[in-house]
Chain A
Amino acid sequence: MNSATVRTLLVRGMLAGLAAGLLAFGLAYLIGEPGVNAGIAYEDAHTHEHEMELVSRAVQSTGGLATAVLVFGTAVGGIAALAFCCALGRIGRFGARATAALIAVSAFVTVYLVPFLKYPANPPGSNEPDTIGKRTALYFGMIALTVLVGVGAVIVGRRLAGRFGNWNATLASAAGFLAVIALAMAFLPAVNETPKDFPATVLWQFRLASLGIQALLWTAFGVIFGFLAERALRPHAPHPGQAAELPTPA
């Protein structure tokens, strides 16, 4: 029974993530592609060697972009649904929809926003290709660290709530989260590789687009998954086929 509930929520999380990914793809195509194209134009103007195109720009900006965003949405939706299963009833007196919203906001902040503040998204042409190993390790390390510190803050907050009340415990654990993250940001190495003549407006608009795409994806996921999860968990929601099996008064 419980295992079946987890399976239902996992499937619905992936579907909600897929739907959110579809919306995010639309936004990415509209506001993200101009920045990608401008970055590639800069790149082409500054390199002498021209590689043969493996995948055309037309495919990269449509089918390729859609694949990436939809797979990303589905995968993070599934993981967020599993986090939802763990959080439900354990982080305070929140119903299914409120818990889904909290999971979505927390995931957006820890998986994207905080790592973005230290290692923001970069358009093509604004990084040195040779440093990809270092940048990948730092970015994924920053995500892992932020998620771990976030989960730790929630666990500590729950412990403190018994002694100091919900409000004070929440403030204290939020302050602790910010302090640890600020320390990590201060000590982790910076990545400053943007070429001196890379257009600042392209960089700014690209990063704003990236932020908007992720914000839309997580907002849509929280709302859609909250709706689906609440329906899955509604205590008295018999399937149409089960209605006939209910005991009838004699």
Chain B
Amino acid sequence: MAHTAAAPAPLSSPAVTKLPIRAILPWAAFFGLLMLVLLYFVGAEQGATSLLSGAGVHEWVHDGRHLLGFPCH
């Protein structure tokens, strides 16, 4: 991709610097996982699988789970 863009850049083109993957990885590993856990609690907890007993989480997010497209019950 970089090779095809070898022509001189027009002056209006914004200079975009790549962020090194090594700088992204620690954030992705920790916060990416944390975000997925949040999505699990909104989208699936106390449905097919339960980490917490009862149905409180399921009942609390019930409407959002249906409307966001997740299978609910």
Query: Which chain A residues have a beta carbon within 8 Å of chain B's beta carbons?
Result: 2-3, 5-7, 10, 28, 32-33, 35-36, 39, 54-55, 59-61, 63-69, 71-72, 74-76, 78-79, 82, 85-86, 88-96, 99, 112, 115-116, 119-124, 127, 129, 132-133, 135-137, 139-140, 158, 161-162, 165-166, 206, 209-210, 213-214, 233, 235
Cβ of B67 < 8 Å from any Cβ of A?
yes
The answer to whether B63 touches A60 (Cβ under 8 A) is yes
Give Cα A227 to B72, complex, Å: 35
Give Cα A96 to B70, complex, Å: 31
Min CB distance A164 to B, Å, is: 10
Give Cα A82 to B70, complex, Å: 23
Min CB distance B16 to A, Å, is: 4
Min CB distance A158 to B, Å, is: 5
18 contacts between A and B (CB under 8 A): A2-B20, A3-B26, A3-B27, A6-B23, A28-B64, A55-B62, A60-B60, A61-B63, A64-B59, A68-B63, A68-B64, A76-B39, A89-B17, A121-B66, A124-B66, A124-B72, A206-B66, A210-B66
Known: A120-B69, A132-B71, A135-B71. 4 other contacts (CB 8 A): A33-B63, A69-B64, A69-B67, A76-B39
Min CB distance B1 to A, Å, is: 5
The answer to whether A6 touches B62 (Cβ under 8 A) is no
Chain A contact residues, majority secondary structure: helix
Query: Which chain B residues have a beta carbon within 8 Å of chain A's beta carbons?
Result: 1, 3-5, 9, 13-21, 23-24, 26-28, 31-32, 34-36, 38-39, 41-44, 47-49, 54-56, 59-73
Give Cα A161 to B1, complex, Å: 6
Residues from chain A with a CB closer than 8 A to the CB of B1 are: 90-92, 158, 161-162, 166
The answer to whether B68 touches A68 (Cβ under 8 A) is yes
Give Cα A91 to B19, complex, Å: 13
The answer to whether B32 touches A82 (Cβ under 8 A) is yes
Residues from chain A with a CB closer than 8 A to the CB of B23 are: 2-3, 5-6
